[in-house]
Amino acid sequence: MKKFGYTLAEVLITLMIVGVLAALTVPMVTVSAQKQKNASALAVAISDWESAMAAMMSADAATELAETAAWKELGGGELSGSTRDDAIKVFMGEMSKFLNMNTYYKGFQKLYDDNIKKINETEITDRSDGVYADYLVLVSKKGPAYGINITNSEMGGDKGDYTEDVILGAGGTLTAITGSVQIDVNGKDKPNTYGRDIFLFDLGTDGRLYPHGGMDYSVYTAGDDSKTWENAEGEDGCSDITKSAGWSCTSRLMENGFKVDY
């Protein structure tokens, strides 16, 4: 009778092949799972923020975020020195009443040990003396960090270059902004990359977050759909990931139901 089986050499070869395949696929699966985890965390972070801002406006009987006690305290972002420091403390105290906060930083760069990156792996090097220095960073007890740019926080918000009729006629709903918000869903943890764990928004005077690269953002800034993630060229888009900076991938992710497809 014939005996069927495998030689030791065949078994060892099979195990080696399985090991090689595992070494190749496990990291890819892990990275994919982390991307999706970050995307899911973004949905929660957006909901927490917008619920907090709605509660803040309700408490102050305000119809716009710029009319709340917290935003008024900042004086339209024009304060400086000790006056600004005192105002920031009051602002953060007000914010902590509505958004469960752990700590805060003056300047987005203070949260990180290394530079924030674009999705194509290039580093953003002007974080300490450029636009990132203007952000206040609120770290919630749930983990996400909210970077808040307050330079457009004057009463009534920034109305932009287009009238409300033009914006609504072009299919937009964002007619005035109070500033901008960057959400880092996992705080200091890497990759610290736009479109992966850091996501960029305009903050409407209604307290809602409008994603960079979305139709609302495009109509508000350009009057048409030329700056949506599909249509914008180079770094401002997200259809060609090799050229993208990741800023507009916020909108691509949200339009895809928070499922990562890039």
Helix (H, G, I), strand (E, B) or coil at 44: helix
Task: Return the structure tokens found at 161.
Answer: 């270059």
Query: What residues does each domain of the chain span?
Result: 8-255
- Asked if 247 and 183 count as a contact pair (C-beta separation under 8 A), the reply is no
Mean pLDDT over the full length of the chain: 83
What is residue 46's predicted lDDT score, i.e. its pLDDT? 98
* pLDDT exceeds cutoff 70 at 15: no
Alpha helices (H) in the chain, listed in sequence order: 8-59, 69-73, 81-96, 164-169, 215-222, 249-255
| Residue bearing the bigger pLDDT, 148 or 84 | 148
Q: Averaged over 94-104, what is the pLDDT?
A: 90
How far apart, in whole angstroms, are the C-alpha atoms of residue 210 and residue 200?
9
The predicted model scores a pTM of 0.83
Token pair for 145: 């960090």
Packing angle, helices 81-96 and 8-59, rounded to 10: 100
Which residue, among 72, 74, 140, has the nearest Cα to 104 in the 3D structure? 140
pLDDT of residue 259: 95
